[in-house]
């Protein structure tokens, strides 16, 4: 599946209605893992979407590393013209590493601890962070949701996009239940049916030079680039 082409098709559709009377810049909740990975994605999407960055990464170890990455992200947003001109916002969720260990069950399934990146441990980590961001996007009524994770060559874009699609399907199932309730004469919240639900924006941001561009922007803006993904298990030296 070519997720970059899917993304380009959606962007073309949005661009095609830009000059219509009813057009309003669609909102996008962008889950971000760090400043360097966010850099190119913001440059690529900020003119098309009203972006809010969502920083939720309790997998990051140690705590000092978590806050260092957050500060680098803030520093970039304060200096990057695309972020400033397009009023890119930042939401920071809580940092509780126990959420990561509980979601991945990695303490008890010890074989996951020694897996290389892109394995089941990573898939579970993608899923629980994306689910948290997705829930926030739906609650706050964002038009679109995606994550910067696919920009890294160390991340499995297929797994990331499958997770996103599955999250979107949960809304479709809820709407089916709402329609069934209507058929049975039960009371429903009509506002749920008036407002289009949050959609997942497919991506493979590393494609078309995306990862390379992120390294260039990091160098240009003096962003510190970490040398491991984030969790304690990714710190090991092979």
219 falls within a domain: yes
pLDDT at 183: 53
The torsion angle over the Cα atoms of residues 158, 159, 160 and 165, rounded to 10 degrees, is 90
Question: How confident is the model at residue 21, as a pLDDT?
Answer: 86
Sheet holding 199-200, edge to edge: 89-92, 50-55, 27-31, 144-147, 199-200
Is 122 annotated as belonging to a binding site?
A: yes
Instruction: Write down how long the chain is.
Output: 238
Is 198 a domain residue? yes
Establish if 19 belongs to a structural domain: no
Task: State residue 43's pLDDT score.
Answer: 99
229 belongs to an annotated ligand binding site: no
For the chain, the domain total comes to 1
pLDDT of residue 208: 96
> Is 112 within the bounds of a domain?
yes
Peptide bond into 161 cis (omega under 30): no
- CB count, 10 Å around CB of 136? 19
Structure token digits, residue 51: 């972006």
The whole-angstrom separation of Cα 124 and Cα 80 is 32
User: 37 a known binding residue?
Assistant: no
pLDDT of 122:
98
In-domain check, residue 163: yes
Task: Give the residue from 193, 164, 163 showing the smallest Cα distance to 176.
Answer: 193
> Does 138 belong to an annotated binding site?
no
Q: Write out the residue range of the structural domain in which residue 35 sits.
A: 3-14+25-235
Is residue 20 situated within a structural domain?
no
HSE-CB of 48 using CA atoms within 13 angstroms: 20
C-alpha distances in angstroms, 152 versus 15, 33, 76, 223?
A: 27, 10, 18, 16
Buried b (16+ CB within 10 A) or exposed e, 214-228: beebbeeeebeebeb
Q: Which pLDDT does position 216 carry in this prediction?
A: 98
Q: Would residue 33 count as lying in a domain?
A: yes
The neighbour count for residue 63, using CB atoms within 10 Å, is 11
The Cβ-side half-sphere exposure at 64, using a 13 Å CA radius, reads 0
Residue 174: per-residue pLDDT: 59
Q: What is the CATH number of the domain that holds 197?
A: 3.40.50.620
What is the bridge-based pairing of β-strands 89-92 and 27-31? unpaired
**Residue in the block written with tokens 């004469």:** 185
Instruction: For the chain, 238 residues long, give each residue's pLDDT as a single digit of tens.
Output: 999 999 999 999 999 999 898 899 999 999 999 999 999 999 999 999 999 999 999 999 999 999 999 999 999 999 999 999 999 999 999 999 999 999 999 999 999 999 999 999 999 999 999 999 999 999 999 999 999 999 999 999 999 999 999 999 987 665 554 455 455 454 433 333 334 699 999 999 999 999 999 999 999 999 999 999 999 999 965 4
What string of H, E and C letters represents the secondary structure of 34-64?
Answer: CHHHHHHHHHHHCCCCEEEEEECCCCCCCHH
């Amino acid at each position: 599946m070519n997720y970059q082409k899917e993304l380009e098709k959606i962007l073309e559709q949005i661009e095609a209605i830009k000059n219509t009377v009813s057009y309003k810049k669609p909102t996008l909740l962008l889950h971000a893992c760090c400043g360097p990975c966010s850099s190119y994605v913001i440059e690529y999407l900020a003119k098309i979407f009203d972006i809010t960055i969502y920083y939720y990464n309790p997998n990051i170890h140690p705590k000092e590393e978590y806050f260092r990455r957050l500060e680098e992200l803030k520093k970039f947003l304060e200096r990057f013209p695309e972020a400033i001109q397009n009023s890119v916002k930042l939401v920071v969720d809580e940092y509780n590493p126990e959420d990561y260990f509980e979601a991945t069950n990695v303490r008890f399934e010890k074989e996951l601890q020694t897996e290389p990146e892109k394995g089941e441990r990573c898939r579970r980590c993608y899923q629980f962070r994306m689910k948290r961001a997705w829930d926030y996007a739906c609650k706050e009524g964002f038009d679109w949701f995606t994550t910067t994770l696919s920009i890294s060559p160390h991340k499995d874009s297929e797994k990331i996009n499958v997770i996103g699609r599955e999250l979107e399907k949960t809304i479709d199932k809820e709407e089916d239940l709402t329609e069934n309730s209507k058929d049975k004469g039960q009371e429903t919240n009509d506002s749920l049916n008036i407002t289009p639900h949050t959609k997942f924006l497919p991506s493979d941001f590393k494609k078309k030079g995306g990862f390379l561009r992120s390294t260039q922007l990091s160098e240009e803006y003096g962003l510190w680039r970490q040398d491991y993904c984030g969790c304690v298990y990714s710190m090991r030296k092979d």
